């Protein structure tokens, strides 16, 4: 197996952390990036190199990529994992927050892609792994801004895949289902904070209860780390990998049901909780 130089964003916990540990154990050179270095001290003990990187700050991303190039002379794989879920009714969420959701989940990701591509093109090889979500294929109440970013990421990834084929660069999308990480708790808390006391309060609270249930039954982040490992190590990776609690059921329902039938089914699940 080729020893790759890999950059993983959002690596201080959850999917990013598990992926970093798995890939370094396989012999790859792994750079784990996150906003707070202190949360990644334990990763250094495993031989993982850590970088302070905020995907909303231009200089932070430039410095991170330059550090890797100076130390390794190349960058082979970019795993775009940084992101969060901003939940709340569209009417309730301030546009400043909506813009920040896109800044983290889309524009920061896209800028990092721009920064690594010149190096990958020079190598005539490279791979970009974008962590999307099954939520990039359907919407849900109170999740418009989050789902909007994931719908956007699906389209961006498809376009990138066609653009970069000529340079020998692969683009892979990972679509997690319900995963047991801090993501779910943050999304629930934001939902109640933003819409729990508004005209949308009743459905917001029911939705938060459903999210909590799925969180408890969510798959371990290692399930997605294994998919990312496949995307990194496969000679010819798939364009998309999907796994995690409820993933296939949700995507099958979205595929088979018309819009109104899917809406009804989703709202029924909310009420059941």
Q: Would you kindly state where each structural domain of the chain is located, as residue ranges?
A: 5-180+220-267
- Distances in whole angstroms, Cα of residue 131 to Cα of each of 75, 231, 266: 18, 11, 24
Average pLDDT, the chain: 95
Active site residues: 12, 132, 146, 150
Residue-wise pLDDT for 95-106, tens only, equals 999 999 999 999
Signed CA dihedral, 201, 103, 166, 30: sign only: negative
Specify the CATH number for 5-180+220-267; select among 3.40.50.720, 3.40.50.150, 3.40.50.880, 3.40.50.360: 3.40.50.720
Of 186, 189, 210, nearest in space to 273 by CA: 210
Signed CA dihedral, 250, 256, 261, 265: sign only: negative
**Radius of gyration in angstroms for the set of CA atoms belonging to the chain, rounded to a whole number:** 19
Query: DSSP 3-state helix, strand, coil percentages of the chain (rounded to 5)?
Result: 60, 15, 30
Burial of 251 (0-12, 13-18, 19+ CB in 10 A): middle
Residue-wise pLDDT for 192-231, tens only, equals 999 999 999 999 999 999 998 877 889 999 999 999 999 9
């Amino acid at each position: 197996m080729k020893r790759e130089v890999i950059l993983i964003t959002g690596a201080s916990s959850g999917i990013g952390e598990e992926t970093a540990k798995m890939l370094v154990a396989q012999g790859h050179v792994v750079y784990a990036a996150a906003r707070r270095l202190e949360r990644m001290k334990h990763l250094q003990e495993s031989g993982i190199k850590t970088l302070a990187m905020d995907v909303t700050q231009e200089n932070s991303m430039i410095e991170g990529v330059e550090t890797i190039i100076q130390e390794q002379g190349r960058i082979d794989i970019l795993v775009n994992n940084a992101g969060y879920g901003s939940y709340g009714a569209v009417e309730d969420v301030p546009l400043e927050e909506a813009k920040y959701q896109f800044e983290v989940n889309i524009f920061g990701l896209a800028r990092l892609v721009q920064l690594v591509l010149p190096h990958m093109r020079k190598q005539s090889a490279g791979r970009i792994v974008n962590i999307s979500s099954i939520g990039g294929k359907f919407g849900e109440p109170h999740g418009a801004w989050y789902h909007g970013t994931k719908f956007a990421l699906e389209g961006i990834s498809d376009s990138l895949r066609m653009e970069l084929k000529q340079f020998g660069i692969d683009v892979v999308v990972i679509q997690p289902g319900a995963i047991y990480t801090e993501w779910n708790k943050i999304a629930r808390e934001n939902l109640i904070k933003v819409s729990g006391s508004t005209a949308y309060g009743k459905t917001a609270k029911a939705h938060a209860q459903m999210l909590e249930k799925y969180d408890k039954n969510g798959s371990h982040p290692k399930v997605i780390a294994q998919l990312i490992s496949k995307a990194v190590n496969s000679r010819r990776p798939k364009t998309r990998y999907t796994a995690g609690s409820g993933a296939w059921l949700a995507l099958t329902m979205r595929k088979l049901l018309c819009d109104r039938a899917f809406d009804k089914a989703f709202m029924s699940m909310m009420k059941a909780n």
